[in-house]
Amino acid sequence: MKTSPRKYAARPAAHNLAAPSDVDQFFPLPHCFSKEDEGQFRALRQHIMASVEPENFLERAYANEMAHLLWQVRLNQARIESLTVNASEEGLVRLLTGRCDDLPNLIKGLRRRDHDAVKTVEALLKDFNLTQVDIDAHAHAAIASDVLHLERDCDAKRDQFDRLVQNFEKRRFLIAERISRLAEMARKEIAPPPPPMLENEGD
């Protein structure tokens, strides 16, 4: 069963939540992030911080790692979508390679939706007795390996995220148990001794 950090949203206290600048100080963003990526990642990380309400540095590290795992899943999903959108063009390139003398310029024309380029492609497909089914087959072959790799990586990152959340829950549970035992010991230590029995009590 998948676990979501939202289950922590009911915890009442939020006074230990770190400010974004404090989190960046200890967990700086990768240099490869664009300005847009930085903003989106910080928003994701702050959402997780607000959900789990980390109480110390170690819990902030857990939350930061959760954010990175979810971010990787999001990137992989975006790459899969991009590959799928461009698959038809890649399938056409594979299909017409060796059958067209100026294929790169023809593809550029298709991207511009140039009328002459569209007509040229239609003519080539007709000349070689090719159809949209052939394009789709080559498109699938062009991206199948990459999509499979990205989907497996998404599954692996989700599993890592789930294990991380479970470890986070287990750690808090163990700490709560320890505090409960200490509180019980403290109550026993400060409990007043029973009153002494009088000699004639019970006679």
Whose CA is closest to 55, among 96, 11, 93? Answer: 11
pTM attached to this predicted model:
0.65
CA neighbor of 115 nearest in space, from 127, 104, 126, 123:
123
Whole-number Å distance between alpha carbons of 186 and 182: 6
Give the pLDDT of residue 72: 94
What does the pLDDT profile of the chain (203 residues) look like in tens digits? Answer: 444 444 444 444 444 445 555 677 788 887 778 888 889 999 999 999 999 888 888 899 999 999 999 999 999 999 999 888 788 888 888 888 888 888 999 889 988 889 999 999 999 999 999 888 888 888 888 889 999 999 999 999 999 999 999 999 998 888 888 888 888 887 777 766 666 666 665 55
Give the integer Cα–Cα distance in Å for 3 and 163: 9
